[in-house]
Structure 1
Amino acid sequence: MLEKTSPASFDQARNKKGLFVMLVLSILIVLVFIISVNTGYIRLTPIELLKTMFGSGTAKQELILFDFRLPRIVISVLIGAGLAVSGAVMQGVFRNSLADPGILGINAGAGLMVMLLISFYPTTAAAPVFLLPLVAFFGAAVTAILIYSLAYKRHEGVSPIRLLLTGVAIAAGMSAAMIVLTLKLDPDKYKFVATWLAGSIWGTSWKFVLSLLPWILILLPYVIFKARVMNVLNLGEQTATGLGAAVNREQFKLLAAAVGLAAASVAVSGGIGFVGLVGPHLARRLVGPKHQLMLPTAALLGSLLVLIADTLGRWILQPSEVPTGIVVAVIGAPYFLYLLARTKS
């Protein structure tokens, strides 16, 4: 006789699988972290790396490791997690598998405000670092409200394809506005804007880490705490309301958190797209749709993706660099086209 699997045992097996997947991803991040630390024009042997980590390296080795490479690696991990979880929340709230802060224009709105702020300062370094995420959040929030307003129909709600097309149109308009602004910039600022648009991680000091860290440490746990609410929202508005969920209020809170994560990440990373699309989809394939497992897995996948992309970008054309956003796009664009082809209108 065949034994029946109880729902409790099935959930237990799925939780074990999810924890195993997260453990494997964490190990991979550590391995890529070690490789990334030793990737660059000047290499550090494992012995030199260990000595420098424990304070026994030369002044040059400490400068390379602590002032240049470590801040950039930490930022790569943080923005990868932030963008991936932001995309997961948007896909869950809008019930749209193609939702992504880059594709929907959220990143472009944040970037436009960052560019406007920087354009008022003599050099890019003079822009107040800790003000950048706040300015980016304002731009991203306004863009999100605009997209939702244009995509919403009174008797139909928000359809996935209408939301996607509206976001693409808004993103194109924001990008065009940024290009127009570049015509009035001096050469130094123009170089910065071109680098930002390509998705290069430009904030590579500990100041930028400190400006980004509070947003990730506050909003990321909040979203994971709301995982049960997201599970209920995925059942549909009528069912969620019947189960006692305050649908509109919870959607607003989650979207605000998603916009905050995306904006803070964009403020220090530039226009990196597709992380919020690829991370959640791969997470669902690995651990299923349960948000308690999917959200942490998406965060780890996003961190791993951006860290690999940044490491490859610094390694491919040494001593020059390929912007991280271009490497991510090479991975993400084909996957986006694959998902678009499978999506029913």
Structure 2
Amino acid sequence: MIHPALIRKQRIIVITLLALIVISIIVATGLGYSSLSYNRLIPTLLGHGTFKEEFVLFSVRLPRIIITLLAGMALALSGAILQGVTRNDLADPGIIGINSGAGVAIAAFFLFFPIKAGSFVYLLPLVAFVGALLTACIIYVLSYNKNVGLQPVRLVLIGIGFSMALSGVMIVLISSAERAKVDFIAKWLAGNIWGSDWPFIWAILPWLVILIPFALYKANRLNLLGLSEPVAIGVGVSIEKERIVLLLTAVALAASAVSVTGGIAFVGLMAPHIAKALVGPRNQMFIPVAILIGGWLLLFADTIGRNIVEPDGIPAGIMVAIIGAPYFMYLLMKK
């Protein structure tokens, strides 16, 4: 049973985070190369803005903000699931190579399979999922020992090696490509929010609508997987089945996110840790908090990054890495 005081604390934190996200969205809508006056936001939202104001808000700012928020939520939830499944606090889809696997699949698809623009948007998450899934399966198999089961530390080390190797594969893929395509993949690698249009929102949204409730439904299973294997088996958990289902969920979430935002790491590492520090390690309690923290963190990083240097700014992936890399090193040394 969860203590009522902890439930109240979680609700206060969730409300606070929602307020922080709303404030960040308002700030983000007014900042940028083409500024939008804050006193014109509500009239423009209600359809009383000028052509320029409506274009900036509805065609430039809002799609990017929503995409960034959704992708941050997906990456945070993916990281939380991976940390629970592997019993390793260093697990993150960007660090252990899942994002890189999705990136290689997207690069190959983009370079060698010409397809209509309208279909391209909706196929991207699926292509990224296939690449990420293959990578995750290989890493899982290499990290598994039939005598001791999954080895968490080995999984992280193999994942980091795969991430580096797949980055090399990406360079080979783009070495003979035409300049326009190379520019696109280079921006993807840097974690540039490139899918900043409404069709990309409709492409990623169904994945989150299905997978976030599913992950919350499986939260108690994640709690049990965090115990030792004999204890989990003793309470009736089919360990391998649950691990595979949850791993597929984490891969799908990460793939859907990076297919429209590029290679962004560390969000899935930091958000679950901050959430656990706030409300404790129970998945039912910290997963909703982690989802909101992940969305806000990526939104904040993108807002700061795109306004530091005009007009192109600094990619969100680099801004998150500036924060996340020292945090990763701290956790690595601590663990």
**TM bucket by the smaller chain?**
over 0.9
Candidates 32, 39, 42, aligned match of 1:50: 42
Relative to structure 1, is the Cα distance of residues 244 and 122 closer, same or farther in structure 2, using a 3 angstrom cutoff? Answer: closer
Which of 194, 198, 206 pairs up with 1:202? 194
- Contact 1:121/1:127 (8 A) holds in 2: no
Q: Are 2:202 and 1:214 aligned? A: no
Match of 1:5 in 2: none
Q: Of 111, 117, 126, which residue of structure 1 is paired with 2:103?
A: 111
Q: Which residue of 1 aligns with 2:236?
A: 244
- C-alpha contact 2:44 2:54 (8 A) present in aligned 1: yes
Match of 2:263 in 1: 271
Alignment partner of 1:77 is 2:83? no
Match of 1:87 among 79, 90, 98: 79
Pick the aligned partner of 2:172 from 180, 184, 187.
180
In 1, Cα distance between equivalents of 2:245 and 2:333? 31
Q: Percent identity?
A: 47
Deviation, structure 1 residue 157 = 2.2
Name the residue aligned to 1:311.
Answer: 303
Pick from 287, 291, 294: which aligns with 2:286? 294
Instruction: Say if 1:118 and 1:124, in contact at 8 Å, map to a contact too.
Output: no
Show the 5 A alignment for 1:254-269: 254-269=246-261
- Name the residue aligned to 1:337: 329
| CA deviation vs aligned residue, 1:85-108 (integer Å, no higher than 9, x gap) | 000000001100100000110000
**TM-score (norm. length: structure 1):** 0.94
Q: Does 2:124 correspond to 1:146?
A: no
Alignment check: 8 A CA contact 1:215 1:264 kept: yes
Alpha-carbon distance change, 318 to 124 in structure 1, aligned in 2, over 3 angstroms: farther
- Match of 1:55, SS state, is coil
CA RMSD after TM alignment: 1.4
Query: Which one-letter code corresponds to 1:243 in the other structure?
Result: V
Q: Cα distance, 1:41 vs. partner? A: 1.1
Pairing 1:324–2:291 present: no
**Counterpart of 1:147 in 2: which secondary structure?**
helix
Inter-partner Cα distance in structure 2 for 1:127 and 1:114: 14
Tell me how many residue pairs correspond in the alignment: 335
Which residue, out of 213, 223, 234, partners 1:231? 223
CA contact (8 A) 1:231 1:291 kept: yes
Map Cα deviations across residues 18-57 of structure 1 (whole Å, 9 max, x no partner): 1111111111001001001111012111221111100000
TM-score (norm 2): 0.97
Structure 1: 5+ residue stretches without partners: 1-7
C-alpha deviation, 1:125, in angstroms: 5.1
Distance 1:121 1:39, change over 3 A: farther
Partner SS, residue 119 of structure 1: helix
Once the two structures are superposed, what CA deviation does each residue of 1:142-169 show, in whole Å capped at 9, x if it has no partner? 0000001111122232222211110011
Q: Specify the alignment match of 1:164 in structure 2.
A: 156
1:101 aligns with 2:93: yes
Say whether residues 1:33 and 2:30 are aligned partners. no
The residue type equivalent to 2:287 in the other structure is L
Match of 1:64 among 56, 77, 88: 56
- Corresponding residue SS for 2:3: helix
Q: 1 CA distance for matches of 2:45 and 2:324?
A: 34
Shift of 1:123: 9.2
Distance across 2 between alignment mates of 1:138 and 1:91: 21
* Displacement of 1:14: 0.8
